[in-house]
Amino acid sequence: MAGRKIGVTELRAKDLEGKKLEVKYEANGVDQWQLFFDGEKLHLIAKDCVRSSLFDMEEYSVKGAQGEYAVYIASREKDLIDWLEDLTMWEKFASGISGAKAVGGPTLEQFFGCWNAMNQHSTIFPKRHWSWIDLGSSPSEPFIPLRKELCPGYWLASPTYSNYAWYVDDGYITISNFYTFCGSRGGRPLVTPTKDIGLQYDEELKMWLLI
């Protein structure tokens, strides 16, 4: 049985309480997605790091590293953040919703907005001069990838100083030099639907439906 329709602009954190975050959506070969509410806007985020073979990477000299998921930048001509923010690189992941846009991951502010909206007793704030942010021993979904053994963490689409970028691992956020093989992490595409999209929660499927 599906619940009441909620417009994406009407959604609040309390609407997600006691419900799974999974959403029925598929694009570019990825069929596992979750709701990602940053406190102001609703997004869809890939439940896991996405295989690097699904990325458009050549223009930015992005290279695959550990296994099939982690990537790093092999050239200083283009920046990792530019790649993550380039809508044309990620538009295939938004193809399941007319007018939607996608990027390669949430920003630091979006991550914290979602964290603070869903963890009222553990509020944290983004301060870019930090280099390590402890998220506790067991961060919940949607903050960590589904299968951490496939990829240690994922990049955030937020610039920092010098040749470093923010990434999320299991239990913390920190920065890494994204020009090195050892600094490689994965991508979790973030899709932002248009304002006219609505949501319904299906109690039998334990999943959100886009309507």
- Taking only the tens place, the pLDDT of each residue in 38-63 is 989 999 999 989 998 898 887 787 77
Q: Which residue has the higher pLDDT, 127 or 83?
A: 83
Q: Decide: helix, strand or coil at residue 85.
A: helix
Query: Does 127 score more than 60 pLDDT?
Result: no
pTM of the predicted structure, to 2 decimals: 0.89
Query: Does 66 score more than 90 pLDDT?
Result: no
Query: Does 141 score more than 80 pLDDT?
Result: no
For the residues of 103-120, what is the DSSP string, one character each?
ESS--HHHHHHHHHHH-T
CB 201 within 8 A of CB 9: no
Give a yes or no: residue 184 inside a domain: yes
- Could you list the residue range(s) of the whole structural domain that residue 181 is in? 6-210
pLDDT at res. 128: 53
Give a yes or no: residue 136 inside a domain: yes
Give the count of domains, the chain: 1
pLDDT at res. 69: 86
Give a yes or no: residue 1 inside a domain: no
Contacts of 47 (CB under 8 A, 6+ apart): 22, 32, 33, 34, 141, 142, 145, 146
Residue 99 pLDDT class (50, 70, 90 cuts): very high
Q: Is 52 left (phi over 0), alpha (psi -120 to 50) or beta?
A: alpha
Query: Does 16 score more than 80 pLDDT?
Result: yes
